[in-house]
Structure 1
């Protein structure tokens, strides 16, 4: 199988939980896992969110189908992820490009919270 990876996996610059796929010259061959940079993953997620909102806004009535307690839990996890990621960036443990992931987590947490209560800023 002739598959070219763009770079080796570096946890300071690439996601740990997801990866892309590189397809080689053989169309019948399996795709090789390929590291996804933080900005690549964030753009992929934002595109998926935009596409879903564009397609289903009328069907959903503008609301997400999660319970309030689930939304609070998810928002907490997003806030914790964001805070820990920023700390790791400051310490140089992960690449600064991960800041794009913290902004996405902050945005999503804010959206979840706004659906439940008005935040004091």
Structure 2
């Protein structure tokens, strides 16, 4: 098994996302996940609490949201800040690394909104042919 430490030792010019064994594919899996995209896109507007994220990202369960937040934190894309209040207050925000993704993520998420009519028309045309 390849450890995180060993992956860090590989020169960055040796990563090739088209290669089957490339660890960068793990990152693509993460940011290619619809929930991760929506969470990261939402966090570009600033610090957000868990329940606010849950309300904003329609359809996500508490369990899935918690899991995605943990993996995004592990990947260094978001911060989790805990405040010693009763009950405990937790806020999430983008790290500088996470902020480097916001333009690309926003482009992808909002591209889908802008082109939904064409996609639905293409699906309809395809289904009529099949």
TM norm structure 1? 0.28
Structure with a larger share of its residues in helix: 2
Higher RCO (CA-CA < 8 Å; seq separation 6+):
1
